[in-house]
Amino acid sequence: MRDLFSYNSDIRKNAYLNWRTDHNDQIGNLRVLGDDFATGAEQLMNSILENNSDKKADALIMPIMYCIDQYIELTTKAVIWLVEDLLGEARSKITTHDIAQLKQTMVSRIKKKETKTAGLEKALQPVTDYIDALYAKIKTTDDKGRPVINIDFARYPFSVDGESHFYISDPENVVVDIEKLAEWFQQIRDSLDGLYYVYSDEWENRVNP
């Protein structure tokens, strides 16, 4: 049997899965993997913007969007746990992949901790705009009128009920401007990374004054 987890004699050709993580730091590990997905999205978009003569954008857009959603999910979860730690509360058992719900939870935790949050929504506007634009396409209702979030749109061509996702069922072209998305994602990163560093720095100063 071939070994997936093996060394190449040329260390430049190896990927070390656990060099950037710490088994004692769950929040830091969320941050590391979130950053990994962000880097993946950015490098894929950069490769398209450098040269798309082979139309690679059509094949890479779903991995890009999946990476963006994973970055948002993991980073908002990290901020939620950081704020809960600072509040002295038990960490939430977060199982949802709904990035809109995660963003709302993050905002509610921050508002519980901070006395002044007037600029919070403005700082998060790029994230809010992205979620609104995405959910306009992936939010549907079931046969009982209950909301359904097809957050797996970038992983599967159809929902768990077998219904084709919007980009398959739409008879018109469904297009993403990669240049605009790259700029937008940088704004999203500035927003969420900024929040993460605010609270991770506060926690570090508390435990290591």
pLDDT digits (tens, 9 = 90+) for 83-133: 999 999 999 999 999 999 999 999 999 999 999 999 999 999 999 999 999
pLDDT at 139 over 90: yes
- Note whether residue 15 is domain-resident: no
Q: Are 70 and 103 in contact (CB under 8 A)?
A: no
Is residue 172 one of the residues assigned to a domain?
yes
pLDDT at 184: 98
- 179 alpha-carbon distance from chain centroid: 19
Dihedral angle sign, alpha carbons of residues 85, 86, 92, 98: negative
Alpha-carbon gap, residue 191 to 119, rounded angstroms: 12
**Residue 106 falls inside a structural domain:** yes
Whether 164 contacts 137, CB under 8 Å: no
pLDDT-based confidence at residue 74 (cuts at 50, 70, 90): very high
Residue 55: which region, alpha, beta or left (left: phi > 0; alpha: psi -120 to 50)? left
Distance (Å, whole) CA 31 – CA 37: 10
pLDDT at 207 over 90: no
pLDDT at residue 121, rounded to an integer: 94
- Residue 2, pLDDT > 90, answer no
pTM of the model: 0.95
How many structural domains is the chain composed of? 1
Residue at 178 is within a domain: yes
Is the CB of residue 196 less than 8 Å from the CB of residue 78? yes
In a domain, 12, yes or no: no
Tokens representing 27? 């929040």
Long-range contacts of the stretch 93-99 (C-beta < 8 A, 24+):
97/73, 97/151, 97/152, 98/149, 98/151, 99/69, 99/72, 99/73, 99/131, 99/151
Residue 4 lies in a domain: no
Six-digit token pair at 139?
A: 């939010």
E-state strands within the chain: 139-141, 147-149
| Structure tokens given for 132 | 């609104």
What confidence tier does 145 reach under pLDDT thresholds 50, 70, 90?
Answer: confident
Residue 146 lies in a domain: yes
82 located within any domain: yes
Residue 110 domain boundaries: 21-207
